[in-house]
Amino acid sequence: MKAELEVVLRPLLGDVTVENLTTLTGGASRTTWAFDAVTADATSKLILRTGPPDEVHAGMELEARAQQRAAEAGAPVPHILTADNDPAALGNPYLICGAIGGETIVRRIYRSLDDAGRARLLTQCAAALAAVHRADPRGIGLAQTDQLAGWRERLDEMGDTTATFEWAFRRLAAHRPPPSAHRLVHGDFRMGNLIVDDKGLAAVLDWELVHVGEIYEDLAWFCIRAWRFGAPEALGAGGLGSVGDFLTAYETASGEALDRSAFRWWLTVATLQWGVICRYQAERHLSGQTPSVELAAIGRRVCETEWDLLDLLEGGGPR
């Protein structure tokens, strides 16, 4: 890998040596390495991400183009050096970007924040999303998706469901709000996919679910129970602050008003989405495809999600 990576970098950096190549994560579909690119003049800390050739999400080149568009709109993202969907050079499609210092582990972030720090980070997250949504999505190959239909299809493919999921899908389909303008949507904007340093939000990561959709998708996904990592419901927006404060901060940053009823509908969709994901992860374990205690444990959260769905559908949840 080291020699091949040096060949990839040479047209960009000149005569370069790769040092300290270290695996950071090995996820289900993508793997991340950190390394130093050493030239005669400087040492650059870089990140390499690789994905499978049969990528079902956004390819590396599309992910890079989307991040560059978001950066142009003011979103904090890593600087992209290069990306290629062709596996010839490194054995898999790849993306190389600059490393950004800071923390991604959520519980460590929480422990480092006082009340003022949480409020600051919440406002920065809202501003970052507003910038993402200002980005021009045209002409870079982004798909337009219907989240409700897509997760209905995913559940049907498993051939397994629950009464709560079925009721939620029917209620959501029957009470869908009028569609809003379609924008560039990150698709997985949440705690855990953000780098936080001593100044607050440093970068938005993990763009493989980027697509064209409604801004409420990102806003709602940030506010489901799973992504507050045990923080109380009063801190329903990413475990940082109230949902109301988060939406108000987004309105201030974006200059546009949000429909609270539409947001609530999307929050229910996001909760249902997480429930289907939990069931899907359990199925990977139960079917023998990927035996894993972690996947089995995620599957046990289906009932937690059902409770949240029932609460939302009966008028509970954030105000």
pLDDT tens-digit series, residues 192-233: 999 999 999 999 999 999 999 999 999 999 999 999 999 999
Annotated domain spans of the chain: 2-98, 106-313
Q: Which of 46, 77, 47, 73 is nearest to 63 (CA)?
A: 77
Specify the residue for token string 């991400």. Answer: 49
Q: For tokens 């289906």, what's the residue?
A: 302
Sign of CA dihedral 235, 239, 243, 244: positive
Bridge partner residues of 97 (DSSP): 47, 80
Q: Which helix (H) or strand (E) holds 197?
A: strand 194-197
pLDDT for the residue 28: 53
Check: pTM over 0.95? Answer yes or no.
Answer: no
Give which of 291, 283, 266, 272 is closest to 215, Cα–Cα: 266
Q: Exposed, middle or buried, 101 (CB in 10 Å: 0-12/13-18/19+)? A: exposed
Confidence (pLDDT) at 123: 98
- Could you tell me how far CA 163 lies from the centroid of its own chain? 28
Candidates 3.30.420.40, 3.30.200.20, 1.10.10.520, 3.30.70.120; CATH matching 2-98: 3.30.200.20
Identify the architecture of domain 106-313 in CATH.
Alpha-Beta Complex (3.90)
What is the distance of C-alpha 173 from the center of its chain?
25
- Two structure tokens written together for 196: 């936080």
Structure tokens at 245: 């404060």
Which strand (E) or helix (H) includes residue 64?
helix 60-72
Per-residue tokens: 113? 């924040």
Residue 2 in tokens: 């080291």
Q: How confident is the prediction along the chain (319 residues), in pLDDT tens digits per residue?
A: 899 999 999 999 999 999 999 998 655 568 899 999 999 999 999 999 998 876 667 789 999 999 999 999 999 999 999 999 999 999 999 999 999 999 999 999 999 999 999 999 999 999 999 999 999 999 999 989 899 999 999 999 888 899 999 999 999 999 999 999 999 999 999 999 999 999 999 999 999 999 999 999 999 999 999 999 999 999 999 999 999 999 999 999 999 999 999 999 999 999 999 999 999 888 888 788 888 888 888 888 899 999 999 999 998 777 6
- HSE-CB of 118 using CA atoms within 13 angstroms: 20
Distance of CA 65 to the CA centre of its chain: 16
101-117 residue pLDDT tens: 999 999 999 999 999 99
